[in-house]
Each structure stands twice: as C-alpha cells, then as structure tokens.
Amino acid sequence: MATDGPDPPPCNCTVFDKGKTVIVVATRGACAFERWVKEVQDLSGQQVDWHYFGGRAFVLYLGDFATVVATIAELKQSLPGDILAWADESGRIN
C-alpha cells in the first residue's frame, strides 16, 4: 500500500513475467517511485516497470540493458530511494 498517494498500477504483466531485474531499491514513496520508473521507461524507450517484494522495489526491463542502465545513471539524482543492488544483463543481482 502506498503511503504517498493512491496505489500505483500493477506491474506490466509482460515485463513482470519475462523481464529481468536491473536494480533493487529501498524506495521513499511508491507513487514517487512509480513516476521515476516511468521516466526511465520514457527516456530509454525500453519496457521498464517495477514490483515490490520483501520490502524492496525490483526494477525490471525488457529491451536493451545498456540503454536502461545509462538512463538510470542519468536519472539517479532524482531517484526517490537508494539503490541497494545492481544486476547484470542476465538479471543476476551482484
């Protein structure tokens, strides 16, 4: 349940089922994080979404890994939370 507004929409089913993790984040507000992830998606031109599990937000992607990583790096300053882990191109968390 979001504490900073209405609950965000569910994760895109295709991204949830077939996507790979790119980062794991300790978020500061689900609605603000939803907006940030959508900005990553829009700027990267890739399919990007997220879901919450075990107290952490997992950002998933379908498409070009390098483009998504570069976009996340570009928008890191505005991230409403802290990146706890990065994953490699296969989705394996390092």
34-41: long-range contacts, CB 8 A cutoff, minimum separation 24: 34/8, 34/9, 36/75, 36/78, 36/79, 36/80, 39/75, 39/78, 40/68, 40/71, 40/72, 40/75
Q: Percent of the chain scored above 70 by pLDDT?
A: 94
pLDDT value, residue 76: 97
Class of domain 13-86: alpha beta
pLDDT per position as a tens digit, 10-53: 888 999 999 999 999 999 888 899 999 999 999 999 999 999 88
Q: What is the pTM for the complete model shown?
A: 0.89
